[in-house]
Chain A
Amino acid sequence: MTPPVATCPVTVRIQEDDFDIAREIALLTKSRTDIGAVVSFSGICRADEDSANIAALTLEHYPGMAEEEIKRHVDEAISRWPLNGVTAIHRVGRFMPGENIVLVLTASQHRQAAFQAAEFLMDYLKTSAPFWKKEESATGTGWVEAQARDDEAAARWTKS
């Protein structure tokens, strides 16, 4: 009998509803005995941005391209690390401080691949997936500007 080939199920969703981290991890690891590590990253709406008080955050996306762009980077992560499962969920709509915005789960046999792939995916989610944040504060509303540090974080994955 040949040993079972490691499969890497991929879930990419964009939704208005909140996600349940425990449920998503359970779905990813259900009936699997080959997974030794799951890394979970969640991005949460902060109340404080550059000393301004955020009342709410609105997330806009490019339907169709957003899913495709995330999947392209998930495929790249799968080609770079031995992954046994990936879940990426990005919420859109209007959020209050403390609310979940994004979830990335990476599963692998060992922790290093899971940690690195989760970081890789988040760096590209921030700089390349077509989502835009608009902030509401006491002083008005405005589009969040892209940060050079996010581009630098993503660029390190292209260095050999």
Chain B
Amino acid sequence: MKVKYFAWVRERVGKAEETIEPPPTVRTVAELIAWLSSQSETYAYAFEKPKVIRAAIDHAHVKSDAAITGAREIAFFPPMTGG
């Protein structure tokens, strides 16, 4: 699946997007954050406050317990500050 990062999450991860293949045991957004955080200190730093991170699956906001099964694109970003 494709993963995109925005704002300071993007800066901390060090890239805007990538393709990842998490193991099938990773089923939810929260589990994906935990799995990414276990991959390297860079991700652990980006996701050090998981409760602050917002997520979207295929362009729609989701909560951390949302299932990632079948997702084409998952995005992680801080709370929005547009307008």
Contacts and interface: CB of A to CB of B under 8 A. Distances in A.
B35 interface: no
B7 A60 contact: yes
Interface residues of A, number: 29
A61 B4 CA distance: 12
Give the interface SS of chain A, mostly helix, strand, loop or mixed: mixed
B81 A131 contact: yes
Given A65-B59, A65-B75, A129 B80 contact: yes
Interface stretch (A2-10, A20-28, A30-38, A139-147): A139-147
Interface string B72-83: 000101111111
Nearest to B52: A146
Interface of A: 43, 59-62, 64-66, 68-69, 90, 101-102, 122, 125-134, 143-146, 150
13 contacts: A43-B83, A60-B7, A64-B59, A65-B59, A68-B59, A102-B82, A125-B83, A127-B80, A130-B82, A131-B80, A132-B80, A143-B78, A146-B81
